[in-house]
A and B are shown apart, each in its own frame.
Chain A
Amino acid sequence: MTDAADEHRITVTVNGEPHAVEVEPRLLLVHLLREGLRLTGTHIGCDTTNCGACTVLYDGTPVKSCTMLAVQADGHEITTVEGLGSLSELDPVQEGFTIEHGLQCGFCTPGMMLTAKALITNNPNPSEEDVRWGLSGNLCRCTGYQNIVKAVLWAAAKQHGHVAETNGQGTTVSGRT
């Protein structure tokens, strides 16, 4: 419990839009995004920084917003899934996830896509191993990861204008062996 007097005024830019908000010091960033700004695309999975469902970009770096305080975002830029592409124009990562069937229930997907976005921004030509390592902070229970890996590789290729020929129809990638 905190009094209103304890609230902090912060300014956070979310998906390019600045927001000036009053928050309790203990408010988690994920709750500011989901409840305060009603951006519900960022999901809460485990509360313990393990599953990565709540991953957002913090000045371009993936962070788990369930274990970050909203006040820590003061003066920073946050990107959520709602800011990844627009309704009409998808980001290559979003396209890749659909084309390669990189999602099933969709719950881990926003966090997975934002991690992937940072990954291929920093490493435009990732190997399969790079992708598997880069995504290892995000858990998925549905897909077995293989199609997620393909989706990220597809997105990396799309970034270069080399759209992969694979379309999820019976193709396989080798996996980490």
Chain B
Amino acid sequence: MSQALDEVKIGGLGSSRQRVEDARFIRGRGNYIDDLKLPGMLHMEILRSPLAHARIISIDTSAAWAIPGVRLVLTGEMAAQRNLAWMPTLSYDTQAVLATDKVRFQGQEVACVVADDPYIAKDACEAIVVEYEPLPVIVNPIQSLAPDAPLIRDDKEGQTDNVCYRWEVGDKQGTDRAFAQADHISRLKLHYPRSHPSPIECCGSVADYNAATGKLTVYMTTQAPHIIRAAVALVAELPEHMIRIVSPDLGGGFGNKVPVYPGYVCSILGSILTGKPVKWIEDNFGNLISTGFGRDMYLDSELALRKDGKILAVRFHADTDQGAFFSDAQPSKFKIGLVHSAFACYDIPVGHITARGAYTNKAPGGVAYRCSFRVTEAMFFQERMIQAAAADLGMDQAQFRRINLRRADDFPARTPFGFLVDSGQYHKCLQLGLDAIGYEDFKREQAQARSRGRRLGIGISTMTEPLGAGNSREYDILGIKMFDSAELRVHPTGKAILRTGAKTQGQGHETTWAQIVSHELGIPADDVIVEEGDTDTAPFGMGTYASRSTPVAGAAVSMVARKVRAKARKLAAHLLEVSEEDIEWELGRFYVRGAARRGVTIQECAMAAYTNMPDGMEPGLENNAYYDPPNLTWPFACYIATVEVDPETGVWDVLRVVAVDDCGVRINPMIVEGQIMGGLAEAYAMANMQFMTYDADGNMIGANYIDYLLPTAWETPGFELHEVVTPCPHHPIGAKGVGECAAVGGPAAFVNAVMNALEDTGVRNIDMPVLPDRVWQAIQTGRDVSGAPPVRQD
């Protein structure tokens, strides 16, 4: 053959290849956790606390034990006998598995029942009698951090207050000096509400301990199976080689399925104690009330401004509400995640950040909900602050951004908080967005509408964010470095299997990883199957969250394919009877330099690896790669929304949404666009309706889909997508993370649009979600509206 392969036709880079996963999903043949049924399997249900803070006086399980079909009723006391009443979190705190002394949030796990079927297990949970002595409840971190606040974590030795952590970064003195020289100082305070990732599939596990072999297999909904294996080895004190974690098809994750939850641990303990496989399938109430939430951060910031619009310095303070246990899933060096990536796209010389975490009587979590470790709060806050500052200076919001955005020739650039931003075309991206929405036309339309009493608004959000943790120097979880891995085996006929340490939950890895192999080797993507999620077969990796899969595992796929190609080149030289130096590569084929017709395909090389290798060469064609990225990837974006606010009702409707994303080279444009639209929908959700709060007694408002509003197809606006492509300078194929960009950068576009519509009212902020009653209240009073949960008065 001499005709070059068409990369798009074989499903390589840039091909909007249809998804491999779909074949089973559209036929109802997926394999989600609840679909698994093992012989003799029992079912587990959890009894949760109705109170947010209470001492446990007694637990009477006798009536539960008496129900036929009940095999085990497990309490904290019994778990304690196995040293499993408490477990470590991913943030070096401890979390109760089953409460022994007190309950510290509503919905906390108090006991569980293992029975022949889930109906019996539920009946038995209701038969357990728990006597509680109520204690004072705190649901607001400001109250929790006050000097006389009741101590929530009295279980922790040496803990004398409700401070969970303190953290600081930047140059305080330099920042103070810059503020002293400012012409104007803009200030904004806001609360990013508590939200929940809420995948439609809740969490679950099937634990299968084989007493004969000593091997524990746990099928579970996890985004990070290898971290779980290490954690189970430590928590359950089982040898790591006797633990197998299998993450089946996941019905969404969005960060919710990263942590270790008590339900998983109880199902493992249940299997060890009963000698049978034990299945735990969490219900939606349990998922919302107890598992990893996102956000819940209070921000107070100032920008030092020169009168020409140049930002001289930034400082801010962040208080996070961690709930009862500090169980954030984030790199261990960064207590408040990567919140210090705020303002990375702007050329600001100096800044200073302080942060505190607070314990409260609320569910633990702080997971990276479609987010690279609290960058969502950072970027929302950044863009709200930018808009407020532009308004304070009486400057056009687009022009204010133009003055301060880094220019394309400014890179690499070090941010005041230590990040190295390596590339970006922010001005081009902004201009594309402005042109797409018709910025100047809209402003004219807005002015005309205003004169007729209608309130139109336009909101812009420009940002870059750090995706793809880590590099191993700076990023680890529980000490394990944040690299990732891939293993590729090419079979004799040139077909292949690829495994990685990541774990897809809808992102389509089975489709896109094969495309990277195809790009590197010229093997058609249809000839490569991808497997993830089984720790007995997959290479060690850190899993999928924080948009890290393409930046890290995806890079490992490229690197392992290149190793395989290097060996294939030797085989080609052998087959073509020339020296390796005389071999050239084109997609899918080696040939002799200067004699292009003399060549062998990658498939012929694969066959030779098993049938006709040169003397002394190790047989086979497979390899693995562990990839430690030199830096994060820095995708950037511009999101613009236009809205109309009805001043009579406070309802606001979205008119248009324009998204311009630069995520570098797009492996599968169809999948990339799907990710962006999914992120935009979540951005709209957070801005418009989606939040969970608590009343003063610690009752969660938002533990079901009646109170916790998720947008449907009806409310969700349409999206107009555009792209800029700036290849990542260090990624092997120039790709960057993308899954969360729109969810991170999007919310501010919607909120800024509403605030823009209210600009003449004197209102500077309405906390998300920007509910109609909050908008109405703001218009009526001319004052900001806070969404913070109540402070208890007693």
A98 touches B18 (CB 8 A): yes
With a cutoff of 8 Å between Cβ atoms, the chain A residues found around residue B24 in the complex are 106
Q: What total of chain B residues lie within 8 Å of the partner, measured CB to CB?
A: 70
- A104-B507 in contact (CB<8A): yes
Residues of A within 8 A of B677 (CB): 143-144, 146-147
* B712:A109 contact, CB within 8 angstroms: no
User: Chain B 642-669 against A: per-residue CB contact (8 Å), 1 yes, 0 no?
Assistant: 0000000000001111000000000001
Determine the distance from Cα of A131 to Cα of B712 in the docked complex, in whole angstroms: 11
- Alpha-carbon distance A108/B252, docked complex (angstroms): 10
A138 to B671, CA, bound (A): 22
Q: State in angstroms the CA–CA spacing of A99 and B670 once bound together.
A: 10
Interface size class of A (residues with CB under 8 A): 35 or more
Stretch at the interface among A34-42, A70-78, A156-164: A34-42
With both chains docked as a complex, state the minimum distance between the C-beta of B554 and any C-beta of chain A, in angstroms. 17
Given known contacts A135-B712, A146-B677, A177-B654, A48 and B705 CB-to-CB distance under 8 angstroms: yes
Chain A residues contacting B28 (CB-CB under 8 Å) are 39-42, 80-82, 84, 110
Verify B123–A1 contact, CB threshold 8 A: yes
With A51-B705, A149-B713 as contacts: A142 and B32 at CB distance below 8 Å: no
Q: Are A175 and B717 in contact (CB under 8 A)?
A: yes
> Across the interface, which residues of B come within 8 angstroms of A1, CB to CB?
67-69, 120, 123
Q: Which residue of A lies closest to B281 (CB)?
A: A44
Chain A CB within 8 A of B21 CB: yes
Asked if B161 CB lies within 8 Å of chain A CBs, one says: no
Determine if A140 is an interface residue (Cβ-Cβ < 8 Å).
yes
| CA of A103 to CA of B23, assembled, Å | 11
Measured between beta carbons, the chain B residues less than 8 angstroms from A97 are 22, 26
Q: Does A5 interact with chain B (Cβ within 8 Å)?
A: no
Given contacts A39-B28, A176-B718, contact A48 B119 (CB under 8 A): no
A46-B704, A101-B674, A145-B681 known; A172-B721 Cβ under 8 A: yes
> B200 at the A/B interface (Cβ < 8 Å)?
yes
Are the CB atoms of A139 and B251 closer together than 8 Å?
no
- What 0/1 pattern do residues 23 to 35 of A give for CB contact below 8 A with B? 0101100000010
Whole-angstrom CA separation of A98 from B30 in the bound complex: 15
Q: Pick the residue among B201, B654, B682 that contacts A45 (CB under 8 A).
A: B201
Q: Is B759 an interface residue (CB 8 A)?
A: no
Taking CB atoms, residues of chain B closer than 8 Å to A169 are: 16, 669-670
Query: CB within 8 A of B251: which of A82, A99, A106, A149?
Result: A106
* Most central of B200, B202, B714 by chain A CB within 10 Å: B200
Please tell me if the beta carbons of B720 and A172 are within 8 angstroms of each other in the complex: yes
Most buried by B among A44, A51, A105, A169: A105
A106 partner, pick from B253, B506, B706, beta carbons under 8 A: B506
Bound CA–CA A154/B24 (angstroms)? 20
Contacts of A101 in B (CB 8 A): 18-19, 670-671, 673-674
User: Is B577 an interface residue when CB atoms closer than 8 A count as contact?
Assistant: no
Q: Mark B525-541, 1 if CB is under 8 A from A, else 0.
A: 00000000000000000
Other A-B pairs, 12, CB within 8 Å; known A106-B251, A141-B710: A1-B120, A40-B34, A80-B28, A98-B18, A101-B19, A105-B201, A105-B250, A107-B199, A139-B710, A141-B198, A142-B674, A144-B677
The 22 sampled A-B contact pairs (Cβ below 8 Å) are: A40-B35, A46-B284, A50-B704, A50-B705, A85-B27, A97-B22, A98-B19, A98-B26, A101-B18, A103-B19, A106-B21, A106-B30, A106-B506, A132-B712, A141-B678, A141-B710, A143-B678, A143-B681, A147-B674, A168-B673, A170-B670, A176-B717
